[in-house]
Amino acid sequence: MGFVPTMGALHEGHAALIRAAKEATSFVVVSIFVNPTQFGPNEDFAKYPRTLDADRDLSAKAGADLIFAPTPAEMYPDFSVTVVDVTKLDEPLCGASRPGHFRGVCTVVLKLFNIVLPDVAVFGAKDAQQTRIIRQMVRDLNVPVTVQVEPTVREADGLAMSSRNRYQSAAERAVAPRIYESLQAIRSRALAGEWDVARLESALAAQLAAIPGARVDYARIVDDVTLQPLTRLDRPALAAVAVVLGATRLIDNVTIP
Ligand code: AMP
């Protein structure tokens, strides 16, 4: 059995995960659950898009056999008090600006694994820190699931597909592709021989800050495995960014090399 956990508002990125799960297994479950515990108090839980009918169609077309769409009360009965913390890996990047976010993610993903009992669970590379944290949880807690990670699916102009892209105004949507362009530029510079991480990070931050209306939450180049800071590009690295554009916080990443 294959499993694709999602929060709904599905797009072609999710469809690619469902197709990959269907290639790896013979029966695919898609969960659709906007998980309250992974949203901070000032985040968009209440207005996160909920599009169940369209999600059902997209999932079926991509090869899903079953949709699991529980309610928050079903997932979190009164007096639910156990949580999963993957320490260290949850400190940098999104963990720094979204305290408790990965605790919510890990807790719900482990609960979903225990309900669905999949052999293979498929996640997207767009959420780079999440994939590393889930792999670590599976390893540390001996969870009998194979984690598979699929590449980020992008719009034609390079913008990483996201359920939150629908919040963007036309002006924001027009400049949003510059996030991935900045990541690619920094990757090219690294491949061309610039090994100094501080120089690369400040160039990346400057390019992102030049996007009209953008506020850079973080622009980091870290160890691809441990997510810890690097000074020189002497091992596989992850360039990861979060940019607030208008009302929307967008994340993206590339690996180096
Ligand atoms: P979400 O419902 O968007 O929070 O994410 C559900 C799953 O879809 C996660 O594993 C995400 O990493 C993955 N995902 C979201 N956007 C994309 C994308 N553009 N390409 C590939 N996977 C994605």
Task: Map the chain to HEC letters.
Answer: CEEEEECCCCCHHHHHHHHHHHHHCCCEEEEECCCHHHCCCCCCCCCCCCCHHHHHHHHHHHCCCEEECCCHHHHCCCCCCCCCCCCCCCCCCHHHHCCCHHHHHHHHHHHHHHHHCCCEEEEECCCHHHHHHHHHHHHHCCCCCEEEEECCCECCCCCECCHHHHHCCHHHHHHCCHHHHHHHHHHHHHHCCCCEHHHHHHHHHHHHHCCCCEEEEEEEEEECCCCCECCECCCCEEEEEEEEECCEEEEEEEEEC
**Residue 50: per-residue pLDDT:** 96
Q: From atom 11 of ligand 1, which residue's Cα is the shortest distance away?
A: 124
Q: From atom 14 of ligand 1, which residue's Cα is the shortest distance away?
A: 124
Q: Which of 11, 14, 19, 249 is catalytic?
A: 14
Q: What angle do CA 95, 159, 235 make, to 5 degrees?
A: 55
* pTM (two decimals): 0.98
| Phi and psi torsions of 231, nearest 5° | -105, -40
Q: How far, in Å, are 36, 62, 111, 172, 256 from residue 105 at the CA level?
A: 10, 24, 10, 28, 26
| Phi and psi torsions of 222, nearest 5° | -130, 170
Q: Which atom of ligand 1 is nearest to the CA of 130?
A: 12
Whether residue 19 has its Cβ less than 6 Å from ligand 1: no
By most ligand atoms within 8 Å of CB, the mutation choice from 28, 29, 126, 251 for ligand 1 is 126
Task: Measure the CA–CA gap between 179 and 182, rounded to whole angstroms.
Answer: 5
Q: From atom 10 of ligand 1, which residue's Cα is the shortest distance away?
A: 123
Say what angle helices 197-209 and 178-191 make with each other, to 10 degrees. 160
The stretch 126-155 carries a mean pLDDT of 98
Q: Which two tokens stand for residue 52?
A: 């169940």
Whether residue 32 has its Cβ less than 6 Å from ligand 1: no
For a pLDDT cut of 70, what percent of the chain falls above it? Answer: 100
Whether residue 124 has its Cβ less than 6 Å from ligand 1: yes
Q: How far, in Å, are 108, 117, 178, 233 from residue 227 at the CA level?
A: 22, 29, 24, 13
**Residue 215: per-residue pLDDT:** 98
Local confidence band at 216 (pLDDT 50, 70, 90 cut-offs): very high
Q: Which atom of ligand 1 is nearest to the CA of 16?
A: 21
Whether residue 39 has its Cβ less than 6 Å from ligand 1: no
Task: Measure the CA–CA gap between 79 and 212, rounded to whole angstroms.
Answer: 46
Q: Which atom of ligand 1 is nearest to the CA of 17?
A: 22
Distance from Cα 210 to the centre of ligand 1, integer Å: 27
Q: From atom 12 of ligand 1, which residue's Cα is the shortest distance away?
A: 124
Task: Measure the CA–CA gap between 257 and 249, rounded to whole angstroms.
Answer: 26
Whether residue 160 has its Cβ less than 6 Å from ligand 1: yes
The answer to whether 14 is a known catalytic residue is yes
Distance from Cα 194 to the centre of ligand 1, integer Å: 31
Place of tokens 């939150």: 164
pLDDT in tens, 71-90: 999 999 999 999 999 999 99
**Residue 254: per-residue pLDDT:** 98
CA dihedral 160, 235, 96, 187 (to 10 degrees): -30
The stretch 85-101 carries a mean pLDDT of 98
The stretch 224-248 carries a mean pLDDT of 97
Distance from Cα 193 to the centre of ligand 1, integer Å: 32
Local confidence band at 204 (pLDDT 50, 70, 90 cut-offs): very high
